[in-house]
Amino acid sequence: MSLPHAILTALVEKPSSGLELTRRFDKSIGYFWSATHQQIYRELGKLEAEGFIRTLPSEQPARGQKKSYEVLPAGRAELARWTAASQDPRPHRDTLLLRMRAAAVVGTEGIEDDLRRHLALHRRQLAEYEEIEKRDFPPGKDSSQDRLRHLVLQAGIDLETFWTQWLTRALEEFAELPGHETA
Amino acid sequence: MSLPHAILTALVEKPSSGLELTRRFDKSIGYFWSATHQQIYRELGKLEAEGFIRTLPSEQPARGQKKSYEVLPAGRAELARWTAASQDPRPHRDTLLLRMRAAAVVGTEGIEDDLRRHLALHRRQLAEYEEIEKRDFPPGKDSSQDRLRHLVLQAGIDLETFWTQWLTRALEEFAELPGHETA
DNA sequence: CCAGGTTGTGCAACTAGTTGCATAAATGTC
DNA sequence: GACATTTATGCAACTAGTTGCACAACCTGG
């Protein structure tokens, strides 16, 4: 299971409260491991109970009161252990490909608009990644940390590039299908 | 939710028993929507209760006795409805990218072997897809159905190609990192 | 000074997916 | 014909993730 480790990583990078983590999961970390605020609060509770993190001393705990966490040595050790441990790739699920396959047997009626919508979303995401690359990884920034982080971003860029290309191609094929309406 | 629709698609393609479906989910459909046999049996029960599928008449139902299902008109209609309905891409989770990001803060100790292992797995999968392409989509087979199915397979090929290239590049970067052991 | 929005934390219930195990029939084998 | 293996169906319990809602504190304008 990966959510606790995603949180530990985020907290090692910078101690944060639940809401700050939620926001960071909406970008950055969330690009390849999403989580809702409820998952995050629940997990923070568990991680604290296990002695992997603790609340920053300064703040007094009260409901509706900001509560920041930092990673303890045990948490860092657990993160290192998990990172080094061998793991099988998890089976991969993609609704759009499934729908394409269904469309092959029940007809393509209606799916085309959604392909266009997905194409727009992936183009937007790609542009966002390229923006981040320009901002955070100018030439010359190449400490070990920077290189690893750049590699991760590169994976995001390549995946979005794949989707835009594949969707473009799919839409071209659709245009050539018999019975297709040409505007 | 997509599992019932994955099952409907598989059953429209060919009526099957639970175990046959399980086997088909281990390849083909399972390449982009995996499921265990327990998920499948549970879902078959629900789909039957909802009137989307029925057991093939000939067979008598008994535990340990093969029981095949076919799709009813209502099931086909539901599949068509679902296929055409607009859906947001589901957030995407990747443990390996998460571990790379963790490695940037806790060190790359130990992760390299696993990258190599993943590279081998993705190469194998890519080879398998290319085999299927050669077998099932020789030039000239291009009915609408074939073209759509080929498109789906192409996505699989492109994704595995991406992973092999990205992992190769990641391993090259690792080799250049300071403190890296060169054999 | 209080009504309404924003920020922040959190519980409870639900849906989806996984793991482990039980059971029954058919088939091969000594 | 007893025994092990394979084929096939299925239940129960668990883990992971989502959705809907409640609640407290703070901040801001009339």
pLDDT 10s digits, B44-70: 999 999 999 998 865 554 555 678 899
Per-residue pLDDT, B182: 59
B154 contact to strand D (CB, 7 A limit): no
Task: Tell me the C-alpha distance between B70 and B48, whole Å.
Answer: 10
* Distances from the Cα of A16 to the Cα of A13, A56, A111, B20, B23, angstroms: 9, 9, 42, 50, 46
Given this model, what pLDDT does residue B43 score? 93
Please choose, from the candidates B12, B125, B24, the residue with its C-alpha nearest in 3D space to the C-alpha of residue B72: B12
Question: Is pLDDT of B183 > 60?
Answer: no
In angstroms, how far is C22 C1' from B133 CA?
Answer: 41
The pairing of beta strand A53-55 with beta strand B16-17: unpaired
Query: For chain A, which residues make up each domain, given as ranges?
Result: 3-84, 95-176
Q: Which residue has the tokens 């505007």?
A: A183
Question: pLDDT tens digits, chain A, 183 residues: what are they?
Answer: 899 999 999 999 999 988 899 999 988 888 999 999 999 999 999 999 999 999 876 545 455 567 889 999 999 999 999 999 999 988 889 999 999 999 999 999 889 999 999 999 999 999 999 999 999 999 887 888 899 999 999 999 999 999 999 999 999 998 888 777 655
Write down the pLDDT at residue A62: 52
Confidence of residue B181 (pLDDT cuts 50, 70, 90): low
- Residue written as tokens 């995946």? A159
CATH topology of domain A3-84: Arc Repressor Mutant, subunit A (1.10.10)
pLDDT over 90 (residue B97) = yes
Centre a 10 Å sphere on the Cβ of residue A74 and count the other Cβ atoms it contains.
Answer: 12
* B 68-87: CB within 7 Å of strand D: 68
Distance A97 CA to C29 C1' (A): 47
Interchain CB distance below 8 Å, B101 and A152: yes
For B33, the token pair is 């929507």
Q: What pLDDT sits at residue A1?
A: 80
Take residue A149 and report the two structure tokens written for it: 């982080």
3-state secondary structure of A2: coil
Residue A24 and residue A10: Cα distance in Å, rounded?
Answer: 8
pLDDT in tens, B26-46: 888 889 999 999 999 999 999
Distance CA B150, CA A166 (A): 12
CA-to-CA distance for A69 and A42, rounded, in angstroms? 13
